[in-house]
Structure 1
Amino acid sequence: MNDRYLILPPSVEGIPDSYIVVRRFLSWVGVGALLFGIVFTLHFSNIEGLYEDDFYYYLVVARNFISGNGTSYFKGVLTNGYQPLWQFLVIAAAYGAEVSGWSPLRVVYVLSAAICLFSVVLVLRENRRLSDEGVLALVFCSGVVYLFLNMGMEVPALFFFSTILMLHVGRGGRSSSVIGFALFGCFLSRIDSMVYWLPMICLLLWGFKKHLMRSLLLLTTLVALYCLANKFFFGLWMPVSGLAKNAPVFSFHAQTFTSFLLSPRPPVFLMWSVLVTPVLFYLLPNKRLIIAVSFFLIFVFYVLHAFRSDYGVWPWYQYNFLLHILVIGLSEGAAGFAKKSGPGMRILLVATFLISVGMVFSKAVDQFKTRKQDSEMMAVGKFVADVALENGIDVLAMGDRAGAVGYATSASVVQLEGLVMDRGFLDRYASHLDLFDVLRKYKVGAYVATSPQPIPGEGCYLVTELVQAGDRAVRTRVCMPVLASHQSPSGLLTVVFRVPVVVQAGE
């Protein structure tokens, strides 16, 4: 057996029995922590609190598809998002919910968790074949995947295809078809993220240059076919959401940028720790230059986002940081370049295990603490549903909290961020249409604002919405009639505004 694998029979000279036992134990505990986190979430957490934001948009599309309206978001408007495989999963979950009587959200969570567990078990079965880096990837990814199940929709498919890639290369496979299709599956999991992690995969697999080039050629062909299909069905080469979200122009403000880099905020500490990581990897007994370069690419990615004038959205990009770590871990486990690891790698293995399991338990505790907040949002949803019913409102509009409202009301809910997926959004964006002019085009009868700020003496409110809603300004002055307001015990203020109907000439 090759001496690069440290999970060897106890009789092999130089490999302590205790280390083999610890290595196996860490692998199984990593999977156990993932399983515990999943069961804990299903039993103790408010599932609706996990699936707001983009998920509600995809669920609306799935319901429209099942009802025979095709892939539409609102009254037959063709639309598609940046997570094609996720959309198929939600459609399957919606069908399953009708058959089983479960909530679609629970079906989605169970399917997502099952895919991730299946992927982790596949890796665990190869435990005897993996280098220390492979076990490191398995243990760390157990925690990261659990966090993704609560943060990112695309993780089940991305983790599955990354695992296939890892196992194939880790077994010594060099099939360009398997690698190419696995990369294409990752591409369909979340299209825009591929720009970030594909260079890292190429670096980590650079030792197989010939097969890597063939795989990239196959990937390019498959992506081109996807673009042609998207152009045929939806009228654009890529989903409109990505074009809209990348529309803001990067700008550099020296004073803002400098003050941000020196500010004592968790995202800043995270960025600087990413910069230190390549140095630590390079100082290990086995110098991991490729890994160091990969982490440095993440640092460059973070710095580029810091150049944006709207750096207030920075904390959201911790999501992409976890995605990068997941891909690096899986790819490094697949590479299998390492010989026998020294004490540095063993220390890193144990430290990563402790961090990973700690992340799982801290997230579980956090979910338990936020149950009250999730319950408050469901109460807000019931309040908005009652207001819509009393006032005969058929269509509501709301921001990222639309999920909590949509699950509680029979009225149609237009999620503002979901508008970026609809055909024609870019034209509205380019013409600088006011937010409420956009809402009127969707026949919206009421606008629900979360945490609006009253303007003293004017009877108006200042609300903040995402730039994707239609207007470039994220802060909007609202002086429309107030139908009702609600304040939760924690102080969360929700105001329902009547959207006046403007009759156009000739109507």
Structure 2
Amino acid sequence: MIARNILEHGESSALLGTPTNGYHPLWMIVVTMYGSVFGFGLMGLRIFETLLFALALVILIRALEIRSFMYALLVTVGFHVIFFGWMVSGMEISLLLPLVCLFQGLMLRPDWRAGWIGTIGLLLSACAVIGTRLDAAFFVIPILLFAPLGLTRKSLVLAGLVAAAVAYTSVNLALFDTALPISGSVKSLGAPTLNTGYLEQLETAFSGLPSTFLVGDPFVTPFITAGIGICCLVIGLLPSLRNQQEFRATRGILLGATIGFLAYSAKLVFGSSWRVWFWYGYPSIFFLIPILAILHSQFGTYRIAKAVSLIAIAGLMYVNRYVIAPDQNRSERIPQNAAFYEMVEKDIGDGPVAMGDRAGTFGWMHPHGLFQLEGLVNDVAYFALLERSGNVRATLCARGIRKVVDYEPNLGRYERHDIAVLRPFLTSFGGPFLTVYGDEEVARMKNDPNTFGLIEEADSTIYLWKLDCDR
């Protein structure tokens, strides 16, 4: 949606005239470039993401110097089970995986980072990882600090990162009046706080062990891989292993990743008021690569290890086929949004639409602009309104936005209803309400479980209202 507006109108916005930087910059650049050549069809994007996944595997297998077909197959199947479901979702994790493989491959392979070309490669890959997912800086910077790179090379790479950060924040301030993405500011509303929603997600995921780990649960996997990584780090400090080349190469990565994970987790627990989504499990990547490097270096020549690899491949394929695949049959908002848009397209007309949670697909289908009520892809002025719990209805009317779409319970007959702009299920920050009236309702569509799957009663019905701004 934003990439389409960049291409067609030269404006970074979900709604023309409402500039936003609510995205990770490099992923937006890549999506925009891809769309300029191939368009934004869903199937084409899935193929592109699959190719990125294949590229990550090629980089990883070459970085670890895996020459055994069995180990290569194990890495491929394992990564497919853990990461592939995350990657074909149109999110930045698609690009992050091959970039982290490249960044850590440069760390693991001295021949890859030799000379000035290697130093430039380290700088560019570090910038690319952070540009794809800004909070990956929690991992990249400590890994660089603890990696065996030499003081001069570390200083050059870190100085380059600082220069890139200054350039990025300066452009943001000039174009959007904010140094960092507005989406991050929205998710930090109310901080410092205790993010009870995220803690509940962790409790649910850990209570399902070990099955949640076996299916690559994004809430459990980072903690499990971090624990394994810390064990490898401790083992690598044993006198008999301390000076082995393989452990010298991975010790800095694991130590930096551990420190980064502690900072990242603290940010989610105390610096955010929002629940998280599956792609927040990406820290697994930073641990899994050095763990594979150690395992391959220590056991890659043993015949029994190859037999274990074959058993592991069979187990992972079984999990993927009989555990993960059936779970994919869950409720889908995309077809429900599509069905409702087809029903109300004439009623909406060619004006913009305001919508909060699940607005992405609806906004994509409606080419006349989306005002994102949660503020994740909105502007600084609207963020200030959310922060002070201001009058959302008056703001919509002042901006010429009359149509509002939202998921709510079945309201039956009602005179007035207050929409929670920031849904209590998603965030502990209260936020403002948007008042709508029964006589402003244009249409509603109740979920059909046989068509769209089981959906919570609180979201059972999707509505369209047309605001009477003279009210």
TM-score computed with the length of structure 2 as normaliser: 0.72
Q: Are residues 1:497 and 2:465 paired?
A: yes
Task: Provide the C-alpha distance between the structure 2 equivalents of 1:71 and 1:88, rounded to a whole number of angstroms.
Answer: 11
Question: Which residue, 374, 380, 384 being the options, matches 1:427?
Answer: 384
Structure 1 residues 186 and 131, CA, compared in 2 at 3 Å: closer, same or farther? farther
Whether the aligned pair in 2 keeps the contact of 1:450 and 1:493 (CA below 8 Å) is yes
Matched with 1:449 is: 406
1:437 matched residue in structure 2: 394
Aligned to 2:47: 110
Shift of residue 453 of structure 1? 5.8
CA distance in 1, matches of 2:262, 2:3: 37
1:390 aligns with 2:347: yes
Contact 2:182/2:376 (8 A) holds in 1: no
Cα gap change, 1:181 to 1:359, in 2 (>3 Å): farther
Task: Give the counterpart of 2:32 among 66, 91, 114.
Answer: 91
Query: Counterparts in 2 of 1:122-137, with a 5 A limit?
Result: 122-125=59-62, 128=65
Q: Which residue of 2 aligns with 1:12?
A: none
In structure 2, what is the equivalent of residue 120 of structure 1?
57
Q: Distance in 2 between matches of 1:337 and 1:363?
A: 27
Once the two structures are superposed, the pairs formed by residues 336-347 of structure 1 within 5 Å of their partners are: none
- Partner SS state of residue 153, structure 1: coil
Change (3 A) 1:240 1:462: closer
Secondary structure of the 2:131 match is: helix
Verify the 8 A CA contact 1:429 1:470 in the aligned structure 2.
no
Counterpart position of 1:74: 15
Seen in structure 2, the aligned counterparts of structure 1 residues 74 and 317 have a Cα distance that, compared at 3 Å, is closer
Give the SS at the match of 2:19: coil
- Measure, in 1, the Cα distance between the counterparts of 2:427 and 2:227: 40
User: How far off is 1:182 after superposition?
Assistant: 0.6
Contact 1:388/1:411, CA 8 A, preserved across alignment:
no
Alpha-carbon separation, structure 2, partners of 1:494 and 1:335: 51
Maintained 8 Å contact 1:162/1:186:
yes
1:13-412, aligned counterparts within 5 Å?
59=1, 61-97=2-38, 104-125=41-62, 128=65, 140-151=78-89, 153-172=91-110, 173-174=113-114, 175-191=118-134, 193-199=135-141, 201-202=143-144, 205-206=147-148, 208=150, 210-252=152-194, 265-266=204-205, 270=220, 273=224, 276-277=227-228, 280-281=231-232, 291=254, 294-295=257-258, 298=261, 301-302=264-265, 305-307=268-270, 310=273, 313-314=274-275, 316=276, 318-321=278-281, 323-330=282-289, 357=317, 360-361=320-321, 362-367=323-328, 369-370=329-330, 373-374=331-332, 377-390=334-347, 392=349, 394-412=351-369
Aligned 8 A contact 2:192 2:272 in 1? yes
Give the 3-state SS of the residue equivalent to 1:67 in structure 2: helix
Residues 252, 401 of structure 1: CA spacing in aligned structure 2 closer, same or farther, 3 A cutoff? closer
Q: Is the 8 A contact 1:72 1:79 kept in 2?
A: yes
| Separation in structure 1 between the aligned mates of residue 427 and residue 223 of structure 2, nearest angstrom | 35
Structure 1 pair 207–340 and aligned structure 2 pair: CA distance change class (3 A):
farther
Q: Which residue identity does 1:302 align to in structure 2?
A: S
**Partners of 1:130 and 1:170 within 8 A in 2:** no
Distance (Å, rounded) in 2 between the aligned partners of 1:149 and 1:182: 19
Instruction: Supply the distance in 1 between the matched residues of 2:13 and 2:175 (Cα, whole angstroms).
Output: 12
Q: Tell me the residue number matched to 1:483.
A: 442
The Cα shift of 1:242 comes to 2.5
Match of residue 34 from structure 1 = none
Q: Is the 8 A contact 2:46 2:88 kept in 1?
A: no
User: Which amino acid in structure 1 is aligned with residue 285 of structure 2?
Assistant: L
Q: Name the CA distance, whole Å, in 1 between partners of 2:160 and 2:77.
A: 31
Contact 1:406 1:412 in 2 (8 A): yes
1:256-287 Cα deviation digits (max 9, x unpaired)? 79x96899511566387567545644676886
Query: 1:104–1:188: structure 2 CA closer, same or farther, 3 Å change rule?
Result: same
**Residue 22 of structure 2 aligns to which amino acid in structure 1?**
G
Contact 1:397 1:447 in 2 (8 A): yes
Give the drift of 1:186: 0.8
User: How many residues are matched?
Assistant: 426
Q: Using a 3 Å threshold, how does the CA distance of structure 1 residues 384 and 185 change in structure 2: closer, same or farther?
A: same
Once the two structures are overlaid, the 10-residue window that deviates more, 405-414 or 338-347, is 338-347
Does 489-498 or 356-365 show the bigger shift?
A: 356-365
CA deviations over 1:169-206 (Å, ceiling 9, x no partner)? 33312432210111001111122x22332255336624
Task: Note the aligned Cα RMSD (angstroms).
Answer: 4.5
Partner of 2:244: none
Provide the secondary structure at the position in 2 that maps to 1:484. Answer: strand
Q: Tell me, yes or no, if the aligned pair for 1:154 and 1:189 is still in contact at 8 Å.
A: yes
The residue identity in structure 2 corresponding to 1:485 is R
**Structure 2 counterpart SS, 1:473:** coil
Distance 1:441 1:294, change over 3 A: same
Query: Aligned-pair distance for 1:229?
Result: 3.1
Aligned partners of 1:398 and 1:415 also within 8 Å? yes
Alpha-carbon distance change, 123 to 458 in structure 1, aligned in 2, over 3 angstroms: closer
- In 1, Cα distance between equivalents of 2:278 and 2:160: 31
Deviations 1:401-450 (A, max 9, x none): 22343354455333334554424334333443233233334422221121
* Residue equivalent to 2:422: 466
Identify unmatched segments of 5+ residues in structure 1: 1-58
Residue 482 of structure 1 aligns with an amino acid whose one-letter code is E
Q: Does the 8 Å CA contact 2:78/2:313 hold for their aligned counterparts?
A: yes
In 2: Cα distance, 1:317 partner to 1:382 partner: 25
* Distance (whole Å) between structure 2 residues aligned to residue 273 and residue 126 of structure 1: 23
Q: Which residue of 1 aligns with 2:213?
A: none
In the alignment, is the contact (CA less than 8 A) between 1:205 and 1:335 conserved in 2?
Answer: no
What CA distance in whole angstroms lies between the structure 1 residues aligned with 2:306 and 2:267? Answer: 34
Shift of 1:462: 5.2
In percent, how many aligned pairs have the same letter?
15
